[in-house]
Structure 1
Amino acid sequence: MELILLLISFPLLSALITVFSGNSSKFVALVSSLVSLLITAALVTKFTPDSSVQFEVSYPWIQQLGIDFHAGIDGISIILVLLTNALIPLIVLSSFPHQYKHPGTFYALILFMQSGLLLVFTAMDAFLFYIGWEAALIPIYFICAVWGGKDRIRVNMKFFVYTIGGSLFMLLGIIYLFLQNPESNFNLQAFYSLNLDVVQQGWVFWAFFIAFAIKMPVFPFHTWQPDTYTEAPTSGTMLLSGIMLKMGIYGLIRWLLPVVPLGIQEWGHLAIILSVIGIVYASIIAFTQKDSKRLVAYSSIAHVGLISAGVFVINTQGLQGAMIQMLSHGVNVIGLFLVLDIINRRVNTTRIAELGGIAAKAPHLAIATLIIIMGTVALPGTSGFIGEFLLLIGVYQYSAWIAVVAGLTIIFGAVYMLRMYQGIMLGPESNTTSSFTDVQGSERIVLVIVCLLTIVLGVYPKPVLGLSEAAVQQLIEQVSQKLTSVK
């Protein structure tokens, strides 16, 4: 069997087994996710870091409509495949202390979502991409709706309406591109070769951008996110923040830039402005948050705003910064939400004012949290520094003033994240935290891995940057050539 087919289908087959595994389902899900990680490791070792599409498969699917099951991996998609299959085992393992109703269904949905995510990141056919996009939404909807907090129904409906609305815009854009394609198929390369005028590309730009901006999310399409992150079960929040939002960033890179470069030229500046507004807006709102989970949710909006701006400047530093920052953000954000979940399970609150003095009771948790926060605020030597440094250089090459404003994400982030750390971990202990216990078992394992990844990616990012460099360079040249040919 082709490795890429095994990569996509194995989580799906495992989900079918997991749903009937009862109380053993979490162990089945963990083993399945580790096997997926081994498959990914095999792909990475066999991958040649050039600009070609590798492990490619193409089978006729719905021939009357020109739809093929066409998938492959290049230097851009391999980063997202690696992110997905590295984080899923950590997310599953971090959920072990919880006792979920219908655990077989819960873990099966996680694996089903994993398969959908991998389909998105490997699809070379627009229709297949859309199927994966929707397939990843269905399980997270049920995870949030069934196992979420008290206000989950209202919050989840808002999330669902936003994402389905964005998906419909994207579907309209895909159908329009199909109708303009003389080959009458949904092949990605055929879409790249289309010669649309600036007006056509402008409409397609907005059809795709709205869908991707909602998923990331970018201001002003972000309003579903803080409530959803707060009400979702911790595993659901990790899936949303660690992996699912990267679907939107990946969509910008894989579809928007090469398909509608004239649309980017016409509207990209506005997209950058919206991204930077989101950085400042989310950072200011984060300052006012009393609940640490909502603070981290707004922090995520700010960081994603910088990644989005880095993508739209279309230069090597911006895009390479986006690639490694997607990895760094995914690792750091699931680490932060795990810390908050550990605290919530022990004291039943994440409100900063009700906490304090945890470091004296749980020094290992305090040290791990500090390392993760240092990565989040881009301290040199951590994973966050490399990504944000490259992103800011890329944005600076586009506009010095925009780079100055975008750089506020680092300054603001350091202030509100360290204030949160001080309020939770330091100072006198409260009545709530007087009997707090340190991390143990699966909690300790996941935190150690997250901290190691934060440091290793910061100290030695070359392997990751090397995987994507050639593909990123080819993408920039492809966009530049299309713009030059029009002029």
Structure 2
Amino acid sequence: MNVSLILIILLVGAFVTFLSGDKLASKVSLFFGLVAMGCSIVLLTHYNAGENISVITKWITKPNVSFALKADGLSMAMLLLNTVLTVIIIFSSFGNQYKNSKSFYALVLFMSFAMAGTFLASDGLLYYIFWELALIPIYFIALVWGNGDVEERKKAVVKFFIYTLAGSLFMLVAFIYLYQQAGSFLLEDLYKLKLSETEQLWIFLAFFLAYAIKIPLIPFHTWQANVYQKSPTVGTMLLSGIMLKMGLYSVIRWQLPITSLAAAEYRYIFIGLGIAGVIYGSIVALKQNNLKKLLAYSSLAHVGLIAAGTYTLTLDGLRGAVLQMIAHGFVVVGLFFASEIIFRRYQTCSISEMGGIRAQAPRLASMFILLVLASVSLPTTFNFIGEFTVLYSLYQVNIWFAVLGGTTIILGAYYMLKMYQHAMLGETNSKGFPDVTVNEGIAMVAIIGVLFFFGMYPKPIMDLITPSLEEILTQINRIN
């Protein structure tokens, strides 16, 4: 049994969903999502049993390209994040009606396929192909099924597409240069290269541009808030919950091990950029009245801290970053889903037009506050484990990095609790607000369950990812 089975299921699922018609599309896509998630769990058991589930086979002779998928603890963790969240995202959309739903749900599965390929690929050109493929479905999801004025939406989505595509072209140039040196795109061959400091710096910057736009890090974040706001909530969940993790994962898998001399030489600068994102995102979030934009800037702050952790080049930094990637994926999907539930009732994301929801929908209010507390890293939540570990790694580099990075907790608690107060408490809005439906409740409980279970017992994930991160750190230190 090999890991390519997941890609086959998701790709076939996308085509079958499209052919199933609008009435059955949502259910068919959920079925294939569940099958992919189930197979991911089965593959994890095979991996833990010591079975080799990686794939490598010749694909193209000239240039020398292999169809190579690497299934280690790190990629398995990201694959599980992808398949589990894909199921939750599809299920959470059942309360909405989409025109041409067969295309909509087919694109969701195709995007999940491309993201899974990005997390698994261990050939540079194959990785680049999956990386670019993931951009196509989200472009159409945001453009066709997005919110607000059509012209504004087109402008935001086209800007996002051009930004990410342009950044990726620099990464492609870097891969071509590396291929000329190694004669192969295989990750293990690229790891063996002995590049000069100058070569490493240029390769590092080429990778950084692609990843900084995707994550995003300031000053490459200007596309994010508008695209998050204009996209349908399913698109926003895919972007924030999974797609931005492609950039963070790639920093650990590709950038740092190949260009570790440059990473070590300039790490203070890139840690500083991450922390600047923490402070900037938190301050801008304080001023937001639109709930989706507030959550977008909150996400910017959290991923800035994750990126800072990766550039510490320490085991605690890498491990904390991966833990926080997974935790952030679940909590941000939960928060955007809560905003979607409110939008379904009020037809607005304006916080000033909300109020008194707790009196009408106590179940939603209770689940929402749990997500808010997880977002601000309350102890016993998954986010606390990841964020504390990242801050500890920053402390090992420089105490002021930890102090400044910790502002994400302080400012985050302020704007998130302030948002909750205005939206859920206070005077009751004149519009009625039915409490959560059974489907909405199941999706919310599943997310909250993951956040609190791994917040109290993170050992399974830590045991899964640590050996892979130690190997990557050994590669980084070997060059240094």
Q: Tell me the TM-score range normalised by the shorter chain.
A: over 0.9
- Distance in 1 between the 2:380 and 2:118 partners? 32
The answer to whether residue 328 in structure 2 is matched with residue 329 in structure 1 is yes
**2: CA distance between counterparts of 1:455 and 1:49?**
27
Query: Residue 49 of structure 1 contacts residue 470 of structure 1 at CA under 8 Å; is this kept in 2?
Result: no
- How far apart, CA to CA, are the structure 1 residues paired with 2:367 and 2:454? 16
Deviation at 1:97, TM superposition (A): 1.0
Taking the aligned partners of 1:137 and 1:331, their CA distance within structure 2 comes to 21
Indicate whether 1:435 and 2:432 are aligned: yes
1:49–1:468 Cα contact (<8 Å) kept: no
Corresponding position of 1:277:
276
Alignment partner, residue 350 of structure 2: 351
The answer as to 2:153 corresponding to 1:152 is yes
Question: Which residue matches 2:477?
Answer: 480
Q: What's 1:94 paired with?
A: 92
Report how far residue 481 of structure 1 moved.
Answer: 1.8
| Contact 2:46–2:53 (Cα < 8 Å) also in 1 | no
Q: Map of 1:275-314 to 2, 5 A cutoff?
A: 275-314=274-313
Give the alignment of 1:74-473 within 5 angstroms.
Answer: 74-149=72-147, 150=149, 151-181=152-182, 184-431=183-430, 434-473=431-470
Counterparts of 1:119 and 1:440, CA distance in 2: 34
Contact 2:2 2:55 in 1 (8 A): no
Cross-structure match for 1:58: 56
Deviation at 1:48, TM superposition (A): 2.9
SS at structure 1 position matched to 2:134: helix
Aligned amino acid, residue 27 of structure 1: K
Name the CA distance, whole Å, in 2 between partners of 1:215 and 1:47.
Answer: 29
How many corresponding residue pairs? 476
Q: In the aligned structure 1, how far is the partner of 2:439 from the partner of 2:124?
A: 39
1:34 alignment counterpart: 34
Q: TM-score, normalising length from structure 1? A: 0.96
Separation of aligned partners in 2, 1:298 and 1:94:
23
Scaled by the length of structure 2, what TM-score is found?
0.98
Question: Which deviates further from its counterpart, 204-213 or 265-274?
Answer: 265-274
TM-superposed CA distance for 1:58, in Å, is: 1.3
CA distance in 1, matches of 2:344, 2:383: 28
Cα offset for 1:329? 0.3
Shift, 1:400, TM fit: 0.4
CA RMSD in angstroms comes to 1.1
The CA deviation at 1:420 is: 0.4
Write the distance in 1 (CA, Å) between the matches of 2:132 and 2:375. 30
Q: Percent identity?
A: 44
Q: In 1, distance between residues paired with 2:375 and 2:111?
A: 26
Conserved in 2, the CA contact under 8 Å of 1:144 and 1:231?
yes
Q: What is the CA deviation profile of residues 7-66 of structure 1, one whole-angstrom value per residue up to 9, with x for unaligned ones?
A: 11111011111001121000000010000011001011112388xx94121121111100
Cα distance in 1, alignment partners of residues 269 and 55 from structure 2: 37
Q: Residues 2 and 54 of structure 2 are in contact (CA less than 8 Å); yes or no, is this contact kept in structure 1?
A: no
CA distance in 1, matches of 2:478, 2:203: 20
Gaps of 5+ in 2: none
> 2:7 is matched by which residue type in structure 1?
I
Q: Is contact 2:355-2:424 (8 Å) kept?
A: yes
Distance, in Å, in 2 between the alignment partners of 1:366 and 1:282 is 25
Deviations 1:245-301 (A, max 9, x none): 000001100001110011102222211111111110110000000111100000000
Instruction: Work out whether residues 357 and 426 of structure 1, in 8 Å CA contact, stay in contact via their aligned partners in 2.
Output: yes
In structure 1, the residue corresponding to 2:220 is in which secondary structure? coil
Q: Which residue of 1 aligns with 2:44?
A: 44
Unpaired segments of 5 or more residues in structure 1? none
Instruction: State the AA in 2 paired with 1:385.
Output: F
Aligned partners of 1:158 and 1:224 also within 8 Å? yes
Distance 1:291 1:124 in 2: 40
Whether contact under 8 Å (1:49, 1:466) holds in the other structure is no
Runs of 4+ in 1 over 4 A off after TM superposition: none
Q: Deviations over 1:125-165 (max 9, x none)?
A: 00000010011111111111110122321110110011001
1:153-193 deviation line (CA, Å, top 9, x unaligned) = 11101100110011111101111111111xx1101011001
Stretch moving more, 55-64 or 277-286: 55-64
Do the aligned partners of 1:49 and 1:467 also contact (CA within 8 Å) in 2? no
Distance 2:120 2:80 in 1: 12
